[in-house]
Amino acid sequence: MAVAQRKTDGSLLKRDYASLMADYGDLNSFDLLDVMINKEFRDNIALVSSFGAESIVLLDMVAQVNPAVPVIFLNTRKLFGETIRYRDQVAEQLGLSNIITVNPDAENIAAEDKNGLLWTRDTDACCDLRKVRPLALAMNEYGAWITGRKRFQTTDRGNIPLIEQDGSKIKINPLAHWNQEELDRIIENKGLPKHPLIAQGYPSIGCMPCTIRVEAGQDRRMGRWSGQNKTECGIHIGENI
């Protein structure tokens, strides 16, 4: 099996993508995480997690594979307090020892969103300020990253592969092929802690100003950026990292 070669800056050569897919494209989620975290990108990979409604499944897998793997958490300063507390609860319960909280740049906030209401005028600009740019800086230290994206979540995610090239990085999507029923079943069977807002009608949880309750039976993503033609914050669009 080909081991990924790194440039001097720690990023991956783009030709590695094909060999990674050839070697590991048919692995199950757990084994894929194991080989990516403990072999191919040892000390050069991070999980990016929102600690949202479905995050616990992937966080639990990563904790079993290597609880010391960096887990990057974007604190946009617009999150629900429940999400911050849930992050701490999950980290302690699963034994995740390397939670890295990334905040937006204070000078950029002062210059671009002084009154904190940018989200009312331009949600894309707000996401770029509070998520996309901070994550891009944080990811400079890593050659690969793990996401919790699933194909069923949105039309734009319908064809995401398990392993993909994302700019200078490799992106791993170990749950890409999972469906909602599988996620719910493993959460129940393992007794994994649920985000407290789920019980209050929030099946998909992002920043507080841009997340609303969803009625039973409605699409779970309807509560995100309701009334807008927007389904992504921007970190998975184009080559941002």
10 — pLDDT class (breaks 50, 70, 90):
very low
Q: Which is catalytic among the residues 127, 207, 210, 233?
A: 233
**Which superfamily does 16-223 belong to?**
HUPs (3.40.50.620)
Residue pLDDT, tens place only, 50-85: 999 899 999 999 999 999 999 999 999 999 999 999
Residue range 221-230: mean pLDDT, rounded: 67
168 — pLDDT class (breaks 50, 70, 90):
confident
Residue showing tokens 């992937």: 58
Closest by Cα among 124, 131, 76, 74 to 225: 124
Residue range 192-199: mean pLDDT, rounded: 95
**Looking at the DSSP assignment, which residues form a beta bridge with residue 12?**
6
What does the pLDDT read at residue 219?
67
Is position 233 annotated as part of the catalytic site? yes
Is residue 202 pLDDT above 60, yes or no? yes
Residue showing tokens 């770029």: 128
Residue range 157-186: mean pLDDT, rounded: 88
With contact defined as beta carbons under 8 Å apart, do 129 and 106 qualify? Answer: no
- Return d(Cα 235, Cα 58) in angstroms, integer: 18
What does the pLDDT read at residue 17?
77
What does the pLDDT read at residue 14?
43
Largest CA distance in the chain: 53
What does the pLDDT read at residue 4?
42
- Return d(Cα 172, Cα 33) in angstroms, integer: 8
Q: Which residue has the higher pLDDT, 166 or 117?
A: 117
Closest by Cα among 201, 196, 14 to 90: 196
Closest by Cα among 154, 203, 204, 146 to 175: 146
What does the pLDDT read at residue 80?
96
Indicate the residue type of 15.
Answer: R
Using only the alpha carbons of the chain, give its radius of gyration.
17
Range name among 6-20, 166-180, 204-218 with the lowest pLDDT average: 6-20
154 — pLDDT class (breaks 50, 70, 90):
low
Is residue 155 pLDDT above 90, yes or no? no
With contact defined as beta carbons under 8 Å apart, do 90 and 99 qualify? Answer: no
Residue range 179-196: mean pLDDT, rounded: 94
What does the pLDDT read at residue 12?
43
What does the pLDDT read at residue 230?
59
What does the pLDDT read at residue 8?
39
Is residue 134 pLDDT above 90, yes or no? yes
**Mean pLDDT for all residues in the chain:** 86
Is residue 88 pLDDT above 60, yes or no? yes
How many alpha carbons lie under 13 Å from residue 63 in its C-beta half-sphere?
17
Strand arrangement of the beta sheet that strand 169-172 belongs to: 99-102, 71-74, 45-48, 144-146, 169-172, 163-166
**Looking at the DSSP assignment, which residues form a beta bridge with residue 207?**
79
Q: What percent of the chain has pLDDT over 70?
A: 81
